[in-house]
Amino acid sequence: MKGGGAVNNNSNSTMPPVKKRWSWLVIAVLILVLLSMLVPLAFLYGVHKGYASEQRSTGSSRKDATLDTSSIRGGLSARVDGLLKDLGPTLPKDFGRTSIKKTENKTTGFAAPTQVLKPPPKKHIDVKSAEGTKTIQVVGENEKMCEVKFGSYCLWRRQHREKMKDFIVKKMKDQLYVARAYYPSIAKMPKLDHFSQEMKQNIQEFERILSESSSDPELPPQVEKKLLKMETTITKAKAATVDCNNVDKKLRQLVDLTEDEANFHMKQSAFLYQLAVQTTPKSLHCLSMRLTVEYFKTSPVDADQSDSLTNPELHHYVLFSNNVLPSSVVINSTVMHAKASGKQVFHVLTDKQSYFSMKMWFFTNSYKDATVQVLNIEDLNLQEGGHDRTHLAMPQELRVSFLSSSESRTEYISVFSDWHYALPKIFPTLKKIVVLDDDIVVQRDLSDLWSLDMGGKVIGALEFCAVKLGAIKSYLGNEKYDANSCTWMSGLNIIDLGQWRQRDITRSYQSLVKQRLSDTTTLGATMLTFQGLLVALDDTWVLSGLGHNYGISNEAINKAAVLHFNGNMKPWLELGISNYKSHWRKFLNNDNHFLTDCNVNP
């Protein structure tokens, strides 16, 4: 009993101290929990207070700057205007993306650029206009690069750029640009929900208006009220306590997206331009189809012209073409200026698709006393050395671009196709021929070419010294050549077929082609084949560039015996240079019922 009592007494004596320890432990835990909550709150309150005061002071100073009347009416503050200038299209492609990535990796704002990026210098180029007067065109480096990349598209775009009254449209775009930059930061602030909704509505309204309007006359009524409303919204956004780094980052993103969009539209426009100049117009396609149908309806029979076609004493012209209208202009202009049209014999070589329309056209149209023969190249037996010529292309025109530290330019060189090297076999009885391209117009009698002393050379052509062989060395491979020699062009060429056969020019060309199977085969092989075998014609014989050069004077055009429309802007296309079209159009027979039915009006 004593033992049990002793134990009972001990337990009763120790119970109060245990309860006391637990109570103090609970109190200590509660105090720690309280402190853990109060200390961060106090810290955050102090930081927030300091941050808010700093932002308020910054916002007030910005507000003072934006409340200036002239600044509000201008639509952009000086800070944003300067930033937009620094972030203009002269920035490198990856500038916006790099800056954005750097911003995302930093907790503090990034420093403003210390160096102002200036636009590239512009060069003044003196050019003679088509009217013979001297004009000055201002061409920047961007335009030069555009011409090198896209060729005559850039010239055409510069010439046909419309002057629109779009002051208000530009102002709306500027305001929309700034509003988009501020909106993401405003939308994240719960206290400004009403203002962010108002801002969103204004942005959507501007986007809708600008999607339907590209110039001031197309804008809806009361647009000035919308401008004032947007100006007020932008002023409020600038005065809000937003993080300038976020706005800056958004501006850079917009610049990057705008630049990408501009590049996309530039490439798309250039593609559509190339499509327009390389595709047969609807009217010319209609003309070809109507002539083909008429040919099979009437089945015309050619008169016997065998004596004229093989007589080497007559003046024989060879024309490669699959286009009826240009071929007709070439022949008509040549015959109209010939002193003796009865001595003129024209051999038109075409493909199977255009053969029947060509036959019908030249059967129903006469050209004084001249003789016209149409040959289907696919019906001729031109297989030589296992090389099938029935699938080869028409005469080619190549665009050669030069870009260096001192100059950048684009030139168009027309060269022989593989078909030209079959001429000795196609015309075995002829001694001399004149080869014409279908994009020329003859303005003078060409009979003097037949009395030209060629001195044992093979071909007579116009030298094109704007492009030397050294400038196209990538086209010539490792063959030996004189880098200072001028290139030459097709268009108007007189050929001594006797010398051609004697020197076996065709085999020389084929051996060069087999060595260089690439896209540059034709240009390089042609220049190397006739190296040292060319007679340079006088400059007054041919004037080239009427298919891409806007700066040719009327005086130069009137002096030339032959006008060569080399380039993309052919005179029978809607995109052709209007100042030169009249020299080509006057040799059309506009009274022809086929032209009227197909609405052919170049």
pLDDT given at position 40: 62
Q: Mean pLDDT lowest for which of 277-281, 333-337, 421-425, 567-571?
A: 277-281
The pLDDT value recorded for residue 88 is 40
Give the per-residue pLDDT at 89: 38
In this prediction, residues 60-79 reach a mean pLDDT of 36
Candidate from 355-359, 437-441, 585-589 with smallest mean pLDDT: 585-589
The pLDDT of 204-219, averaged and rounded, is: 79
Q: Domain 282-384+392-598 has what CATH class?
A: alpha beta
pLDDT digits over 520-578, tens only?
567 888 999 999 999 999 989 999 999 988 889 999 999 999 999 998 889 999 888 88
For residues 170 and 214, what is the distance between their CA atoms, to the nearest angstrom? 9
Residue 289 pLDDT greater than 50, yes or no? yes
Q: Cα dist. 19→16, 23, 33, 403 in Å?
A: 5, 6, 22, 94
The pLDDT value given to residue 166:
74
Return the percentage of the chain with pLDDT > 90, whole number. Answer: 32
Residue range(s) in the chain whose domain bears CATH number 3.90.550.10: 282-384+392-598
Q: How far apart are CA 170 and CA 172, in angstroms?
A: 5
* CB contact set of 150 (below 8 Å; sequence gap of 6+): 266, 270, 273
Q: Stretch 159-183: mean pLDDT, rounded? A: 77
Q: Is the pLDDT of residue 444 over 90?
A: yes
Minimum mean pLDDT range among 49-63, 77-91, 131-145, 575-589: 49-63
Q: Provide mean pLDDT across the span 356-366.
A: 94
How much is the pLDDT for 489? 92
State residue 256 phi and psi, 5-degree precision: -65, -45
In the block, which residue shows the tokens 């029979």?
301
85 has a pLDDT exceeding 50:
no
Provide the pLDDT for residue 157. 75
What predicted TM-score, i.e. pTM, was given to this entire model?
A: 0.65
pLDDT in tens, 244-256: 777 777 778 878 8
Q: Do 117 and 91 form a contact (C-beta atoms < 8 A)?
A: yes
pLDDT tens readout for residues 260-272: 887 887 888 878 8
> Would you mind telling me the total number of residues written for the chain in this entry?
602
pLDDT average, residue stretch 62-91 = 38
Question: Do 552 and 130 contact (CB within 8 A), yes or no?
Answer: yes
Tokens of 465: 């010294």
**Residue 304 clears pLDDT 60, i.e. is over it:** yes
Written as six digits, the tokens of 144 are 């030069």
pLDDT band at 39 (very low <50, low <70, confident <90, very high): low
* 312-322 confidence digits (pLDDT tens): 999 999 999 99
pLDDT score of 543: 95
Does residue 137 surpass a pLDDT of 90? Answer: no
| pLDDT band at residue 44 under the 50/70/90 scheme | low
Residue 518 has pLDDT above 60, yes or no: no
pLDDT of residue 241: 77
Q: Across all residues in the chain, what is the average pLDDT?
A: 76
Q: Of 77-81, 513-517, 548-552, which has the strongest mean pLDDT?
A: 548-552
Question: Is 80 exceeded by the pLDDT of residue 80?
Answer: no
- Under the banding of pLDDT at 50, 70 and 90, the label for residue 146 is confident
pLDDT per residue as tens digits for the range 212-233 = 776 777 788 888 888 888 888 8
Of 47 and 312, the structure prediction assigns the larger pLDDT to 312
List the structure tokens of 96: 């916006």
